Amino acid sequence: MSTHKSRFTSTSDTKVGILGAGAIGQLLFHQLTATGCAPYFITRGGNTRQQTLTLTSIENNTSNLSAELFSPVSQSDTHDALAQVMRDTQVIIVCVKAYQVNEAINSILTRIPKDCHLLLLHNGMGPHLQIEKQLSTQGLSVGTTSQGALKLATWHIQQTGCGSSQLGHASGPQLPNRLKDLLLSAIPQSQWCEPVLPLLWQKLAINAAINPLTAIEQCRNGALADIRYRPIIEMIISELVEVAKLEGVELDKLVLTNRVYEVIKLTANNFSSMHQDVANKRQTEVGSINGYIVARARVHHLNCKTNEDLYNQITKIESQYPI
C-alpha cells in the first residue's frame, strides 16, 4: 500500500465546499481554515448567509470563526449565491450521513464544476457505487476518519478525539497533488492511501461488530468485551471477510478480530453512534454497515445470516419509533 505525504503551501485561493454541517463537517471547517484556504458550507436549512462557529478543543480552549452558508433549496436567499460560489470550487467534502449522500449530492449535481473533485467521508460503505455512476468528468475519493467531535449546540462543537484519517482514490480523474496536500495538511494524522478500499473494509468490520450490538443491547462499547458476545462478533467478521474476498479485498480474520477488540477496549466508555441514534429515535446508518455486507453478499449469491439478522433487528427498532 502506498501513501502520500503532505507538502502543502497555504493559499486563500483554494475553495473547498463542505456538504453537511454536522460535527465532523464543522471540525473540518476549523481545520481547513487554519491552513489558509477558504471553506464554506452547503446546507439544507434556512437563509442565514453568515454564521459564527465555536470550537472547544480537547485542551478545552475555545475559538470562534465566521462561516459562509449556502443552500441548494430554490426558495432560499442563498440559492443563487451557491451557484456562483461553486463555479470556483475545487473540492467538495461530503460529510452527511451515509443514507443522505445520494440526495445531498443530487441537490447540487448540476452545479458541480467539471474539474471539481468530491470526497465522501461517512460511516459505512455503499454510496460511492451510486455516486460514481452520476459523475461525468469529476473525480471521486473516499475516506474514513476516527476523529471525534460532539455538537454542544447547533454551531458549537467539542473535539472529543484526535484519531487518524485515511483517504484515497475511488473513481474518475485523480485528485491533483496540490489539493491532496491541502487535505493532508489540514486534517491531523491523515494519509493518502492507495488502495484505500481495504482500509474502508477494515473500518466497516469495526462498525459492523460494535454499532448494532451496542444499539440492540443498549450498552457502552466496553460491554462487548464480555465473553458471551465473542461468538456473534466472530461470525460478523467471518462473514465480512468472505464477502470482502469476493469483492477483491483480502483481509486477515484474526488480525481484524483483534482490531475490533482493541477498539472495544480503547472506546470502552463511549456510546456508539448507532446506540445514540436509537436512543434518540433517529435513523441509523445500518444500511451502509451491516446492510452493505448483506447487499454485496447477495451479488455473489452468498448468505450472511448474522449480519442480516442484525440489520433486521435494527430496522425493526427504527420502524417502532413514534411517528
In a domain, 300, yes or no: yes
CATH number of domain containing 92: 3.40.50.720
Last residue of a domain, one of 173, 193, 213: 193
Any domain includes 323: no
pLDDT of amino acid 211: 98
pLDDT at 153: 96
Ordered per-residue pLDDT tens for the chain, 323 residues:
656 655 545 455 789 999 999 999 999 999 999 998 989 999 987 667 899 999 999 999 999 999 999 999 866 666 678 889 999 999 999 999 999 999 999 999 999 999 999 999 999 999 999 999 999 999 999 999 989 898 999 999 999 888 899 999 999 999 999 999 999 999 999 999 999 999 999 999 999 999 999 999 999 999 999 999 999 999 999 999 999 999 999 999 999 999 999 999 999 998 999 999 999 999 999 999 999 999 999 999 999 999 999 999 999 999 999 98
Determine the Cα–Cα distance for residues 229 and 158; give it in Å rounded to an integer: 32
Q: Which domain holds residue 282?
A: 199-318
Backbone angles phi, psi at 30, to 5 degrees: -60, -40
Residue 12: per-residue pLDDT: 58
**Confidence at residue 46, expressed as pLDDT on a 0 to 100 scale:** 63
Looking at residue 44, its pLDDT comes to 85
Q: Is residue 220 domain-shared with residue 295, that is, in the same domain?
A: yes
Burial 131-166 (b: 16+ CB within 10 A, else e): bbeebeebbbbbbbbbbbbeeeeebbbbbeeeeebb
Q: What is the CA radius of gyration of the chain?
A: 20
* Sign of the torsion formed by the C-alpha atoms of 214, 99, 43 and 105: positive
Nearest Cα residue to 22 out of 134, 97, 126, 73: 97
Which of 156, 175, 193 is the last residue before a domain boundary?
Answer: 193
Closest CA to 89 of 41, 29, 28, 144: 41
Where among 160, 175, 193 does a domain terminate?
193
Q: Do 145 and 31 share a structural domain? A: yes
Please state the pTM of the whole predicted model: 0.92
Domain count for the chain:
2
CATH number assigned to the domain comprising residue 272: 1.10.1040.10
- Give the pLDDT score at 4: 61
Q: What is the dihedral of CA 108, 292, 311, 102, to 10 degrees?
A: 10
| Residue 45, pLDDT score | 74
Strand ranges, E, within the chain: 2-4, 15-19, 38-42, 50-56, 62-70, 89-94, 117-121, 139-145, 148-153, 156-161, 165-171, 190-194
Sequence-ordered strand ranges (E) for 71-154? 89-94, 117-121, 139-145, 148-153
Judgement on whether residues 227 and 115 belong to the same structural domain of the protein: no
pLDDT score of 187: 97
- What pLDDT score was predicted for residue 5? 54
Q: What's the pLDDT at 170?
A: 97
Domain-embedded: residue 260: yes
